[in-house]
Amino acid sequence: MSLPLKQEQPMQGLSQNHLTGIAPLSVDDIETILDRAGFYADGLARGDDFTATLKNRVVMTLFFEDSTRTRTSFDIALARLGATGINWDADQSSISKGESFSDTVRYLDAMRPDGIIIRHKEYGAPEFVASHVSCPVINAGDSWREHPTQALLDALTIRRAKGTIEGLNIAICGDIAHSRVANSNMILLSRLGANVRAVAPELFMPEKFPADTIAHFMTLEDGIKDCDIVMMLRLQKERLPEGMSADALDAFQLTPELLRRAAPKAGIMHPGPMNRGSEIADDVADDPHVSLIFEQARMGVPTRMAVLDLLLNGRGA
């Protein structure tokens, strides 16, 4: 059963009432979010006060899967916008007492939050929640499918480092098959005109790709050649089918020697958590001339502020 949406008017800023993934977003939506995120990034750097933006709004965060980075980034974004974040602790919830997920969601909705941020291991959980509540829903990562705010903050980081996304060679490397970050990024970066490469051993390539334009490479040596951006991913151990060996990824470590094959001034990215010595060598992760990794973490806050503002205030950038 879907309940009527609280917002009577469609938003001027985005074509969507929720952020369930990158897939439903138009290029205009993506540009609107990135422009607003850039505005917040500059404002935060100057120390501007944005606490009037979502004053008196209450946003619930529901994390059914472990998260430190993403959750904290959302909490800081809410605080910077003046909203109150209420954390609904999924572990101690009534689900462990036998309540159905659908009833839990309806109870939460009955308390009339102004927004819901959800992370869940089930495919499509954010859409399910969105169809049962009367406020905007933001996907903070579901299954291996989508992690839209991560892809948006990655795009913001690239745009600010390189000035554009269109025409860049971008390699996404490692356990692509089980990574929602890879999937959301493949959709977003292809949509904005980058030449996206999926670089993974066969076992870690997805069965389907979200865009026909994505080139496939089996080795890091070939895959990162002349790339402007190299995005490394960790092995998603928690989503690996039982008995599946990860040995093929042993050769997937980005070292300073390999990095010489990328374009001069290539930027290195990683969504975190990094497994140093596995997919990335210390000397790459810590090289301030190439590493954009902590800049990604920094861009997470303004990006999430932009999404919250656009969805909860329903206005354009």
Q: Least distance to ligand NCD from the beta carbon of 149, Å? A: 8
Q: Least distance to ligand NCD from the beta carbon of 152, Å? A: 12
270 in contact with ligand NCD (CB under 6 A): no
147 in contact with ligand NCD (CB under 6 A): yes
Among 70, 104, 139, 253, binds ligand NCD (CB under 6 A): 70
Q: Which is nearer to ligand NCD, 16 or 150 (CB)?
A: 150
Calpha distance 261→220 (Å, rounded)? 9
71 in contact with ligand NCD (CB under 6 A): no
150 in contact with ligand NCD (CB under 6 A): yes
AA letter at 92: Q
What burial class does residue 86 get, using C-beta atoms within 10 Å of its C-beta: 0-12 exposed, 13-18 middle, 19+ buried?
Answer: middle
185 in contact with ligand NCD (CB under 6 A): no
223 in contact with ligand NCD (CB under 6 A): no
For ligand NCD, how many residues bind (rule: CB under 6 A)? 10
304 in contact with ligand NCD (CB under 6 A): no
141 in contact with ligand NCD (CB under 6 A): yes
272 in contact with ligand NCD (CB under 6 A): yes
178 in contact with ligand NCD (CB under 6 A): no
234 in contact with ligand NCD (CB under 6 A): yes
Q: Which is nearer to ligand NCD, 70 or 195 (CB)?
A: 70
Q: Which is nearer to ligand NCD, 65 or 283 (CB)?
A: 65
181 in contact with ligand NCD (CB under 6 A): yes
**Residue whose CB is nearest to ligand NCD in the complex, by number:** 69
Q: Which is nearer to ligand NCD, 80 or 147 (CB)?
A: 147
**Nearest residue to 140 via CA among 85, 87, 186, 71:** 71
The residues binding ligand NCD (CB under 6 A) are 69-70, 141, 147, 150, 180-181, 234, 271-272
